[in-house]
Each structure stands twice: as C-alpha cells, then as structure tokens.
Chains A and B, each alone.
Chain A
Amino acid sequence: MNLHEHQAKALLAEYGVPIPRGKVAFSVDEAVAAASELGLPVVVKAQIHAGGRGKAGGVRLARTEDEVRAAADAILGATLVTKQTGPEGRLVRRLLVEEGVAIARELYVSFIIDRSTGRPMCVASAAGGMDIEEVAAETPEKILTVTVDPAMGMQPFQARRLAFGLGFEGQVFRNGTKFLTALYRAFEGLDASQVEINPMLVTEGGDVLALDAKVSVDDSALFRQPQVAALRDIHEESPLEVEASKHRLSYIKLDGSVGCMVNGAGLAMATMDIVKLAGASPANFLDVGGGASAEQIENAFRILSSDPEVRLVLINIFGGILRCDRLAKGLIAAVRKLGVTLPIVIRMEGTNVELARRMLEESGLDFTTADGMRDAAEQVVRKLEAVPA
C-alpha cells in the first residue's frame, strides 16, 4: 500500500525522522490558512501517489499570500501528468503546504528489502533529486549500500559509513547518523517494503531533513499496522481494482480487449503473454484464486464486463483440487444469472474435464471450448475477428 507524502512524513516523524513543518490542505482556503500559520515562504505540493510532481508543475514555491492562493488554485483539481502517472494523469485532491527551507545540499536515501540477500538494505547517494535508477545507470560508483542484519538492526558503524560516504562533517554528521538510524527504525516499525527520501536535505543551518518521502507498506502486514491501513486513499486506485479487492480478486486493468479470467497469478500472467503472442491484447490481469468458487466466478464476470473495452472473455483454469465439472456448473450459473453476452472462450484442464466440456456444450450457451493454451489463444483471435469492434 502506498501513502501520500504528508501521511508518510507524519509517520516518519513519530520515529524521530526530522521533517519540515507542514499541513495538509483540501481547499485553496485551507492552503492559505496553513501558510499563514506556518509563515512565508511556503512550498505548495500536490499529493498524489506518483513521483515526478516537481517537473510536472506540482511543487511550487510561494512567497506571498497571493502566490499561495495562485499555486493552490492551479494545482488543486488539476490533472498532473508525470512520468509515473501514465498519459491519463492523476487528479490532485489534496495539497501539502510546507515551510520553505533554505537548502545547502540535496541527497538521496532509501531502505528496501534486498530480495537477493533477504535483508534490509540502505541505498544512499550524494545525487539528491535525481532518480536513483538514473544514478545507478550513469554513475554507479556514487551509490552507497549497506545491508542490515535484521537481528541486530542498523549498527552505529553502518550509519557512520553512510554519513562519511555522503561527505557529512561536524554537526551535519551527527544529525545525519541520527537521521539514518531513525529512518531505519521507521522502515522496520511500519513494515515498509520501501521508504525513499529524495531529497534528503541539509539546510544552511546544518539540519538534516526529509524533504520528500515515499513510503510503501507491505500489504501482507496491514493486519498489524492498523494506523497505516486507515490511511488508504481509494481515489488513488482504479475503481474496478478497488471493487475486485473487496472480493479478494487480484485484478489489474490493462488496455486490450480480451478479458482474462485465470486461477493463479503465474498462469494469469502467462495467459496474458500468450494472448499477446497470438496477436490480440489482454484487457486485464485477473487471478480468481485457487478455489474459484461459483461466487468468485460471478464476481469476476461482473468486474470483467464492466470494462467497456472488453470484447471477449478468455477463461483459463487449471483445475487441480478444484474439479472442472464444479467449475463448469458455477460458470453456467454465473453466465445465466448475469446475462453475459460477450463471447467466451474456455480452456480447462484437470479432474473431470470431459464431463465439464459436455456440460458446457449442453448448456445451450455460447461457449467455445479450447484444447490447450495455444488453441485457446488462437480461438480468441479467430473469435475477435468475427465480433464487431
């Protein structure tokens, strides 16, 4: 789960990570009031779950009340198109109004779980404000990493190594090691999969602050992070995906026309791949899960058919423990109940598959059964050519 910058900063502050003073605002008036409370100048920042806001005009410095009003008015309600939003952009519904800080240096620091070692890792670089991927590609020698033993936590020597590597001295060095240690504690305490501070800032006064904060929390740990779970902003998610998650369906909308319904994430990805290879284009990723009960199939159909781009549905189920005849029964019931009119191509494999095929054929409904994944993809293409766009 992703958090807004203002939410992330508030959580980090609870762990002792220094942040600029700031307030969240949902209207222009609230932004102006926040600015007068904080004192000018302020920075007005769009709050969306996507990076690259600065370059898209979503981060503005305001020196006067009029400038605050103008900046808030321009950003709130605007659709920001950044390199991470895709061409459709993201509607801005809230702002962070923050004290303007006098900047001496901008740096980069993040914590992730390194999948190769299975341990927390800190990645830091003196090149603040730049995408770390760019730094990694162009000047990999500028990237510092430290792997943390989860039983020990981040050790003082590790924080010092990073601080020396970033060129900190004197008071800044002391503030920097404190910052890094607090940030690690927050990363662990929040069950975060990533915290990224870009830029981490050194002020002219020698303070070290998180000027930006991206925090993603492990979805599997939300049950024990109620404070984080409560911060979910469903405006940042696609409505169909929100609906799907209510039914414990894993759904991701894509831009093709072949609705895919599959059991298992790997097989679901592979099904998208084979649709594409055959010359058609998947409308979505959808994993109905191991059970694939009649109810789940009905939910899945409802979600697939509410995507107007979908012209055909491809069902690919490998019935292991789930028997194919039961699946067929659920499928026929769902199609009848919902009055699904989209053409349906089905590939099933597993226990009682022959019986299941007969049930589908005798149902009087318009199912095309396929033999194997390749045949399924070819049938999809053939059917698509036959249905009007």
Chain B
Amino acid sequence: MSVLVGNETRLVVQGITGREGAFHAEACRDYGTNLVAGVVPGKGGQTAVGVPVFDTVAEAVEKTGANVGFVLVPPPFCADAYAEAVDAGLDLVVSITEGVPTRDMVRVMRTVPPGGTRILGPNCPGVISPGKAKVGIMPGFIHKEGHVGVVSRSGTLTYEAVHQLSERGIGQSTCVGIGGDPVIGTNFVDVLELFAADEDTGAVILIGEIGGGAEEEAADFIRRELKKPVVAFIAGQTAPPGRRMGHAGAIVMGGQGTAAGKMEALRSAGCTVVESPAEMGAAMEARLQG
C-alpha cells in the first residue's frame, strides 16, 4: 500500500488544455498514473492528452469513474476548481497553484463535509507513490519504491530529501508536499495519521519550515501516536523575523513560528532532528539501521 495515490487512482486533470495542464497531465500519465479525463468548462467533447475532456468534474466522474483531481489553473480560479472537485465527491484533489488568496482557502475548507474530499495544497509539488502514481510536478525519476514516507511544506527541498534517500538505496512509500501557504487543505498531522496507519510506511521524513504552528502540532501527534522513526528538518534557521521567506506562510511573527521552537518540539517528541539539510538521508539510514 501507499497513501493518497496508488494503483487505484483514476486521475482527472482540471485545466488540461492549458500549457501547464497538458504538460503535467502528460508527465503524470507517462509516470504510470491512470489518467482518465480532463475538465475544462466549454471544451467538453474535445480530447486532450489522449483522454476525453468534460465541461464539469461531475460529468467526468460519472463517465470515467475519476476519483482524484489535479488542478492546474491560475490563482483566481483555483478555489473554485477545488470546490467543484469537493462537490463532485472526488477522494482527493491536488493543486500546485501558487498565489491563491488566503480567504479563498478559508472559504473552500468550509465547504468540505466531514469525511469528504481531501484537499492537498495549494502551492505544493503534489503527491507521488513511487512506482504507482504521481499527481504532481515532481521529477518522477529521482524516486524509488520503498517504505519511507516523506511529508513536507516545500517543493525542491522535498526533492533534495528524496534524492538523498534514493542515493542510499532507501525507497519511499509516498511523498506528500502539503504546501507553503498559511491555510492549506491537508496538514502535517493529517498525513502523519495516514502514515501511521499505512503498513507500507516504516519511517517518516518530515520537512518543515518557519511560520505557524503545524510542526508543533505534528510533534504532539508524533509523541502520542506515531510509533515509527521520524527524521525531521526545519528550514529557515537563519531567517530574519518578520519577513516572509518566499512562501506566504514562512514568517516568524511576534516570536512565534521559529525554527528553534519547532526543532525543540520535534526533538522532545523523539524525532531525529538534523540541523543540516544535507544530513536528512544519512540520518534516516542511521535510524533504519539502529
């Protein structure tokens, strides 16, 4: 098994006829993801990337049995695309879009019924279960099938971690980018819950960054419930307070959200916290051996 995406994934790409949409739909399909449909309002009846295009997500679900959405639309339309996926009852909808207004995310999250569609992102690289399915923009070839779960607020820093693991022959069960925005659909704790229950995941790498309290909440969960080794890195140890470091959510405010606080919380929850981003793979290797 793996989490979020796998062999059972039937992907619908929302915005499939756009440049980005077509490019990434093709890349996901080429990786082995079962791409079944595209959605672009007004372009129903056409074909793109070898699959039928529908006007609505609901129709795509009805005709193709799609169960996972990948949103590749510009920021002003992202929340609406998420909401449509929620309304159509997809299991999961992922968006990589950067620059979605925070208010839009606040409102969309309010529309998800209990047990409803899981929203991943925005402003994230997506999710990949190596050898099975990728719904995202990460380079597939750096991944390797295996048993380490990776969860991260960042994009390229996640690739860095994956690369360090694969280089050592350590494969991954699923790698999840949750995104760098202040309000996101799926948080560390949500993913850790999935990893905790997944028989295929034996250990976890958690990559956090300054800002907010999601890493502290993750530390709480790890202490109470996660009986698997965790290696963690927090980016932004040298970031000045009060500045947004590229990600809308990466800001230390009023002494809250510092790297030091997060590292301490994770350490006291039993995680191996590395100070250097170059040590993530080696630290995991050590935990797995020891």
Interface, chain A (partner B; CB < 8 A)? 84, 113, 115-116, 118-120, 131-133, 149-151, 188, 191, 193, 218-221, 223-224, 250, 252, 254, 262-277, 282, 285, 287, 290, 318-321, 349-351, 372-374, 377
User: What 8 new A-B contacts, CB under 8 Å, besides A116-B213, A266-B156?
Assistant: A220-B99, A266-B235, A268-B246, A269-B235, A318-B160, A350-B139, A373-B160, A377-B278
B163 near A272 (CB under 8 angstroms)? no
B259 nearest in chain A by CB position: A273
8 pairs of residues in contact across A and B, judged by CB atoms under 8 Å: A220-B75, A250-B246, A262-B156, A265-B154, A265-B155, A266-B152, A351-B141, A373-B277
Distance, CA A36 to CA B85, complexed state (A): 60
Distance, CA A381 to CA B239, complexed state (A): 20
Distance, CA A263 to CA B152, complexed state (A): 16
> A-B pairs with the 4 shortest C-beta distances?
A266-B154, A265-B246, A264-B156, A266-B157
A residues in contact with B141, CB < 8 Å: 351
Q: Which of B75, B106, B217 contacts A113 (CB 8 A)?
A: B106
How many whole Å from B94's CB to the nearest CB in chain A?
A: 16
A118 near B157 (CB under 8 angstroms)? no
Distance, CA A373 to CA B158, complexed state (A): 14
Q: Which of B138, B183, B238 contacts A276 (CB 8 A)?
A: B238
Distance, CA A290 to CA B157, complexed state (A): 12
B277 near A188 (CB under 8 angstroms)? no
How many whole Å from B154's CB to the nearest CB in chain A?
A: 2
B213 near A115 (CB under 8 angstroms)? yes
B247 near A266 (CB under 8 angstroms)? yes
Q: Quick one: which of A151, A274, A318, A319 has the most chain B CB within 10 A?
A: A318
Distance, CA A319 to CA B100, complexed state (A): 25
Distance, CA A290 to CA B102, complexed state (A): 22
A residues in contact with B248, CB < 8 Å: 218-220
How many whole Å from B192's CB to the nearest CB in chain A?
A: 15
Q: Which of B106, B159, B207, B278 contacts A374 (CB 8 A)?
A: B278
A118 near B238 (CB under 8 angstroms)? no
Distance, CA A313 to CA B209, complexed state (A): 24
Q: Quick one: which of A188, A224, A265, A287 has the most chain B CB within 10 A?
A: A265
Distance, CA A344 to CA B103, complexed state (A): 42
Q: Which of A219, A250, A269 contacts B239 (CB 8 A)?
A: A269
Distance, CA A263 to CA B142, complexed state (A): 17
B250 near A282 (CB under 8 angstroms)? no
Is B169 an interface residue, CB under 8 A from the partner? no
B residues in contact with A119, CB < 8 Å: 106
How many whole Å from B256's CB to the nearest CB in chain A?
A: 8
A residues in contact with B89, CB < 8 Å: none
How many whole Å from A266's CB to the nearest CB in chain B?
A: 2
A241 nearest in chain B by CB position: B243
B212 near A150 (CB under 8 angstroms)? no
Q: Which of B138, B242, B247, B279 contacts A320 (CB 8 A)?
A: B138
Distance, CA A246 to CA B260, complexed state (A): 33
A285 near B239 (CB under 8 angstroms)? yes
How many whole Å from A7's CB to the nearest CB in chain B?
A: 20
A273 near B277 (CB under 8 angstroms)? yes
Q: Quick one: which of B100, B210, B238, B245 has the most chain A CB within 10 A?
A: B238
How many whole Å from B250's CB to the nearest CB in chain A?
A: 6
A residues in contact with B106, CB < 8 Å: 113, 118-120, 150
Is B254 an interface residue, CB under 8 A from the partner? yes
A372 nearest in chain B by CB position: B278
B235 near A270 (CB under 8 angstroms)? yes
B residues in contact with A113, CB < 8 Å: 102, 106, 182-183
Q: Which of A132, A270, A321 contacts B254 (CB 8 A)?
A: A132
Q: Which of B182, B183, B238, B255 contacts A273 (CB 8 A)?
A: B238
How many whole Å from B54's CB to the nearest CB in chain A?
A: 27
B246 near A220 (CB under 8 angstroms)? no
